[in-house]
Amino acid sequence: MSMKMSKQLPLVILVLIVGVLGLGLVRAKYQSFKTQQADDQKLQEIKELTLASSEDPKYRDNTAQSTKQLREKLCSLTARSAEEREKAVTAIRDFLEMPTAEVEYECNNAFYSLEEDRLIPAKGETYTVGMTYFVVDLVTNYVLQVDETPGTWGYKIDGTRWFSDQKDYDYSANYSQKEVEQIAEGFIAKHPSAIGNIDLSKLTLEIGKKDSGNGRVNYFFIWRGETRTVQYNPPLETCSEDLNKDVEGLYYNRNDVPCIKVYESTETPSISIAFTSGGQLINFSNELNGPVSRATVQLFPKWKLLSVGGSYVNYSRNSNSSNRDLGVFSLENTL
């Protein structure tokens, strides 16, 4: 190798390194651009679907196929990635102590605010396993709420009622209140991966009991913390035709629905769990860090509203105004 080539070699190597780094930078910027472009397109589609659900009369019928398809599309567009949701699935399986349980993702409570012209991120996701639904926190992936999926009922042609299947509960063991309390405490201590590390010793326990006869006894355990005042910035907005029209600060949104904003509230942190006297869990709710997002679901076929009859479920629309016509519902079990 000549002296001249030897002197030029470091320069050649430097040029190659710069070229490789430059190419990598260009590729990274291009990938970032493509990702941002895809996110922008998704956001625009969510906005358009929200507008359609609010303005197009065909989406007023919440049992219509077109409304169902719109709900499914919105739930899909606002969902976390499958990899992220897998963490929630793992927590649910740990809660159930069923590592192979079939966990189905339903929806989340994200919504597009037409008033603010932005997507309000989800705080909770809803999953189902059989006849049980789970609300999971998106930040921690901890299970915050567990309850039975409500059933439906209607009338037959002969005027008698029909009822959908309901969950069966075990009362065979007939444990005492103290024994069930120990089961409840043990359950909470046993599942930190699913519900977080919870120190019950710092909370005050309240116990309730419901005896329905024939050995059907349920026990309810609520551990409460100290009451606190919570400030909201931005304020929480609730829009509903059911609002008291004389309440101070009431206003109407673009859909002419009465709304009110809440800037602070007083809440008592709590965690509650209920068991049958047979030791079977009935429901669970963790509100130590504030109220739990209500279960947000599509209208499952097994829950669909009927043209006649009624439902065990109060289908109350999400309290956020821009979600009022999406056909996405929160659940209140009235059983």
Per-residue pLDDT tens digits for 210-251: 999 988 999 999 999 999 988 888 888 888 888 888 888 999
What percentage of the chain carries pLDDT values higher than 90? 39
The least confident of 21-25, 147-151, 254-258, 317-321 is 317-321
Do the domain assignments include residue 66? no
Do the domain assignments include residue 65? no
Contact residues for 131 (Cβ-Cβ < 8 A; gap 6+): 148, 149, 165, 166, 167
In sequence order, the β-bridge partners of residue 153 are: 163, 310
Do the domain assignments include residue 104? yes
Quote the number of domains for the chain. 1
Do the domain assignments include residue 18? no
Do the domain assignments include residue 250? yes
SS (H, E, C) 163-205: ECCCCCCCCCCCCCHHHHHHHHHHHHHHCHHHHCCCCHHHCEE
What percentage of the chain carries pLDDT values higher than 70? 79
Question: Residue 312 pLDDT more than 50?
Answer: no
Residue 66 has what pLDDT?
Answer: 83
Do the domain assignments include residue 10? no
In sequence order, the β-bridge partners of residue 70 are: none
* Ranges 97-101, 232-236, 307-311, most confident: 97-101
Do the domain assignments include residue 267? yes
Give CA–CA dist 12/18, Å, rounded. 10
Domain of 198 in residue numbering reads as 83-333
pLDDT band at 51 (very low <50, low <70, confident <90, very high): confident
Instruction: Report which of residues 122 and 295 the model is more confident about.
Output: 122
Mean of all residue pLDDT scores within the chain: 80
Average pLDDT over residues 182-200: 97
Question: Residue 32 pLDDT more than 60?
Answer: yes
pLDDT in tens, 196-210: 999 999 999 999 999
Instruction: Report which of residues 172 and 302 the model is more confident about.
Output: 172
Find out whether the peptide bond into 235 is cis, omega within 30 degrees of 0.
Answer: no
Do the domain assignments include residue 51? no
